[in-house]
Amino acid sequence: MPTASPVLSLSDLGWDDDWAAALADQPAAGLTPGRVSRIDRGISTVLTAAGAVRVAAVAELRLAVGDWVALAGGSADSAPMVLAAILPRRCAFRRVSDDPAAREQVVAANIDSVLLVDAIDGQLSARHLERYVALAWQSGATPVIVITKSDLASPAEVDQFLAGVTEVASGVAVHIISAATGEGLEQLAPYLAPGLTVALLGLSGAGKSTLVNLLAGSTILATGAVRGDGKGRHTTTYRELVPLAGGGMVIDTPGMRALSVSSAAVGVAQVFTDVEDLATHCRFPDCSHTTEQGCAIAAAVEAGELSVVRVDSWRQLLSETTAESPQVTRLRVVERKRQKATAKAGRSRARATQKKLAPPPQL
């Protein structure tokens, strides 16, 4: 379904001084910046300050939705614009197929938050959610969990669901919403301030496209009822960046089931910071956390402070990541936290300036 692309300013699309500096670093002059909103076979839609343009694919430039690109041409001679470069990505949610021969895909680039969408009556297990959260941390964006369809559960069931999610994803904000009643939607406003981009990820049927339509205020994306067995119908088949009238942008994506964490050692460590912190207190630095004396993880399990299921899950996901010493991973996590704190402070300053200029987003 084609989406009407409104003409937006570059700052509405997230352009800032750092992007301008990245464009200025390009060897060619006179390039036009734009943001990739959709990629179809051979043709991409790029949002520029003058509106949406369609540009042909270039073999050596593997675009992702959300990328900032530099376009050449398209001047007075009305020649079509051509892709000249992808500006270096700040962050990217990547997906690696379980098939070792398959290439890594960038699902969404230059996102500020990853909204992991999980229906309260859906089929996303705690183990699966851990993988999503690990990949979200790995992306460099902030993971956020959005539990949809709260209208289908009683308050007690919602509380129980929430407790399960919180155990798996400590330190991740969780929001409970209903597209049917509008409950909780206002909680998403901070992620959608002008210039910010969120990616919606989750299983098919979780309600991602329904949420985009609700945030956009009109039916611009197709949605599909879940099947009798509770599974989604894979209604969305492509990724699309949708600018919202009230500010902010949403990238809708097709439901994803198989998720490999092989390239997400840092993200896995971040999901299990509680277990990783305990591991630093084991008596032996090379403790295998099985039978050793003085194992802090075994002691926490014994004391009922840590579930065996969580420890097993940590082992399993760690074993799937490509080898990297735990010390290196830990250092990277610390460095990532430091960088995020610096970036967040910068964004808050930018938002404070923008808020003075723009009306608040309306949901």
Ligand X SMILES: Nc1nc2c(ncn2[C@@H]2O[C@H](COP(=O)(O)OP(=O)(O)OP(=O)(O)O)[C@@H](O)[C@H]2O)c(=O)[nH]1
Residue 195 or residue 205: which is nearer to Mg ion going by CB?
205
Stretch of 99-107, 233-241, 281-289, 314-322 lying at the interface with Zn ion (CB under 5 A): 281-289
- Which amino acid would we find at residue 84? A
Measured from the CB of residue 47, what is the shortest distance to ligand X in angstroms? 22
* Residue 282 binds: one of Zn ion, Mg ion, ligand X, none (C-beta under 5 to 8 A by kind): Zn ion
* Residue 297 binds: one of Mg ion, Zn ion, ligand X, none (C-beta under 5 to 8 A by kind): Zn ion
282-311 binders of Zn ion (CB under 5 A): 282, 287, 289, 295, 297
* Residue 206 binds: one of ligand X, Zn ion, Mg ion, none (C-beta under 5 to 8 A by kind): ligand X
User: Residues in the site for ligand X, rule: CB under 6 A?
Assistant: 148-149, 151-152, 178-180, 204-210, 223-226, 232-236, 254-255
Measured from the CB of residue 226, what is the shortest distance to ligand X in angstroms? 5
Residue corresponding to tokens 């949901």: 363
* Burial grade of 27 (CB within 10 A; 0-12, 13-18, 19 or more): exposed
CA distance 347 to 342: 9
Q: Is residue 214 within 8 Å of residue 246, measured between CB atoms?
A: no
Lookup: tokens for 156:
């007690």
CA angle 202, 179, 232 (to 5 degrees): 40
Residue corresponding to tokens 């990328």: 67
CA distance 131 to 135: 6
Phi then psi for residue 65, to 5 deg, are -65, 135
Tell me: does residue 236 bind Mg ion (CB under 5 A): yes
Lookup: tokens for 194:
């002008």
Q: Which residues, in sequence order, are CB contacts of 139 under 8 Å at separation 6+?
A: 91, 92, 93, 94, 111, 114, 267
Measured from the CB of residue 18, what is the shortest distance to ligand X in angstroms? 32
Residue 46 or residue 206: which is nearer to ligand X going by CB?
206
In the stretch 231-270, what mask flags binding to Zn ion with x, by CB under 5 A?
----------------------------------------
Tell me: does residue 209 bind Mg ion (CB under 5 A): yes
Stretch of 43-51, 236-244, 265-273, 305-313 lying at the interface with Mg ion (CB under 5 A): 236-244
CA distance 57 to 336: 33
CA distance 183 to 281: 43
Measured from the CB of residue 260, what is the shortest distance to Zn ion in angstroms? 27
Query: What counts of helices (H) and strands (E) characterise the chain?
Result: 9, 13
* Residue 225 binds: one of Zn ion, ligand X, Mg ion, none (C-beta under 5 to 8 A by kind): ligand X
Tell me: does residue 275 bind Zn ion (CB under 5 A): no
Residues 6, 111, 190, 130, CA torsion sign: positive
Measured from the CB of residue 167, what is the shortest distance to Zn ion in angstroms? 21
Measured from the CB of residue 211, what is the shortest distance to ligand X in angstroms? 7
Measured from the CB of residue 129, what is the shortest distance to ligand X in angstroms? 15
Residue 95 or residue 208: which is nearer to Mg ion going by CB?
208
CA distance 237 to 302: 47
* Residue 148 binds: one of Mg ion, ligand X, Zn ion, none (C-beta under 5 to 8 A by kind): ligand X
